[in-house]
C-alpha cells in the first residue's frame, strides 16, 4: 500500500465512522420515549407529572414537569421536546422523571 493509498484508506475509514456516528445520533434523536422502556422505568418517567409514583419518589411535587426541567431541550410551551437524559429522544412537556432538575433562571 503506497502512502497515498493509505491516506485515502484512512480518510475513507474516518468518513465511514462519521456516517455511522451521525446515523446513530439521528436514531437516538428520533422518536419519543416510551414510558415502558427500561431506562424510563428506572427513572420513573411518566408522561403526566401528576401520575409519578409518590411512594417511590416522595420529593416529587406536581409542579415539577419536563418543561421546567434543566434537561428539557425545548420551550415551556412545547408539547414535547428532546431530553438529554434520554439521548435526545422526545419527552412530554407535562411529563416527569426522577432526574428532574429545576431549570435555572
Binding site for ligand SF4 (CB under 6 A): 45, 66, 69, 71-72, 83, 85, 91, 95-97, 99-100
The answer to whether the beta carbons of residues 82 and 74 sit under 8 Å apart is: yes
Taking CA atoms, 96 is separated from 12, 23, 39, 50, in Å, by 43, 28, 13, 9
Nearer CB in complex with ligand SF4: 78/99: 99
Query: Which CB sits closer to ligand SF4, 2 or 40?
Result: 40
**In the complex with ligand SF4, which residue's Cβ is closer, 83 or 104?**
83
Q: How far is the CB of 88 from ligand SF4 (least distance, A)?
A: 11
Q: Which residue has the cell 419527552?
A: 91
Least distance (Å) from ligand SF4 to the CB of residue 80?
10
Residue 32 CA to residue 69 CA, distance in Å, equals: 17
Q: What is the dihedral of CA 35, 42, 30, 16, to 10 degrees?
A: -150
| Closer of 9 and 71 to ligand SF4 (Cβ) | 71
Q: Least Å distance between CB 6 and ligand SF4?
A: 45
Amino acid at each position: 500500500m503506497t502512502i497515498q493509498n493509505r491516506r485515502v484508506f484512512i480518510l475513507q475509514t474516518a468518513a465511514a465512522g462519521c456516517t455511522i456516528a451521525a446515523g446513530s445520533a439521528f436514531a437516538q434523536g428520533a422518536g419519543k420515549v416510551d414510558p415502558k422502556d427500561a431506562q424510563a422505568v428506572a427513572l420513573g418517567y411518566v408522561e403526566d407529572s401528576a401520575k409519578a409514583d409518590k411512594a417511590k419518589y416522595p420529593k416529587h411535587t406536581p409542579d415539577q414537569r419536563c418543561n421546567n426541567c434543566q434537561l428539557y431541550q425545548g420551550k415551556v410551551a412545547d408539547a414535547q421536546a428532546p431530553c438529554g437524559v434520554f439521548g435526545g429522544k422526545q419527552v412530554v412537556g407535562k411529563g416527569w422523571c426522577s432526574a428532574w432538575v429545576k431549570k435555572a433562571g
